A and B are shown apart, each in its own frame.
Chain A
């Protein structure tokens, strides 16, 4: 089971790019990296998933170095509505541990 480590909290101003890094030193060869977003009292929502290099979708980018021991979620030009908890998960769903995630607060 790949353990992940993320910062407990981060603050950023509106309009800035935010990068949240997750460490997963014992990631297995077949493991994918998935990020979820959770607003208060709501279920988590899938943001992005990747295996290696870079993945981009309409809301975020995910950067994964060659050794795959870490990954960085990048949120471009954040707004107040991006204030949420962000979880980095590694591995198959039944082995996932959400942990406490990174609480991102966007400041006006």
Chain B
């Protein structure tokens, strides 16, 4: 158990809909990262927050947005969903803003299925 929690575990929805994925980082960790992993693909970095502020942005679509709240939990919002958005979405946390020695602790993921 990494200490990172993600809800829900599974999510099934229809094209065009909007969903929200939630992540609670490990106690004391200030950074939260979001990743997308499609079938048989590597993890694609989406976005990072540190202590409530966006710190780095990767391959995140404009239809996707995220935020980190004062209690440090984070939400990833996916809108106008398409079939291709079906994937595993992972959240990870680390204690610092992103140092070379940081270890990321990953949550169990949310499996999103868009029908």
Query: Which B residue sits closest to A97, measured CB to CB?
Result: B45
Cβ-neighbour of B103 out of A34, A98, A100 (below 8 A): A34
Does the CB pair B109–A98 fall under 8 Å?
Answer: no
Does the CB pair B104–A49 fall under 8 Å?
Answer: no
Can you report 26 residue pairs joining A to B where beta carbons are below 8 Å apart? A32-B101, A34-B103, A41-B88, A41-B109, A41-B111, A42-B109, A43-B90, A43-B92, A43-B107, A44-B43, A44-B90, A44-B92, A44-B104, A44-B106, A45-B106, A46-B104, A46-B105, A92-B98, A92-B99, A92-B102, A93-B33, A93-B48, A93-B102, A94-B45, A94-B98, A101-B42
Given A94-B48, A96-B45, 9 new contacts (CB under 8 A) = A32-B100, A32-B101, A34-B103, A43-B4, A43-B90, A44-B90, A93-B31, A93-B33, A98-B45
Does the CB pair A93–B35 fall under 8 Å?
Answer: no
B55 interface residue, CB < 8 Å from A?
Answer: yes
Q: How far is the CB of B94 from chain A (nearest CB, A)?
A: 6
A43 to B94 CA separation, bound complex (whole angstroms) = 14
> Could you mark each residue 82-98 of chain A with 1 if its beta carbon is under 8 Å from any beta carbon of chain B, else 0?
00000100011111111
Which chain A residues border B88 with CB–CB below 8 Å?
41
Cβ-neighbour of A43 out of B48, B98, B106 (below 8 A): B106
* Chain B interface residue number, banded: 20 to 34
Does the CB pair B108–A42 fall under 8 Å?
Answer: yes
Instruction: List the count of A-B residue pairs having beta carbons below 8 Å apart.
Output: 66
> Could you mark each residue 74-87 of chain B with 1 if its beta carbon is under 8 Å from any beta carbon of chain A, else 0?
00000000000000
Does the CB pair B100–A91 fall under 8 Å?
Answer: yes
Which chain A residues border B33 with CB–CB below 8 Å?
93-94
Q: Which residues in window 7-27 of A have CB below 8 A to B?
A: none
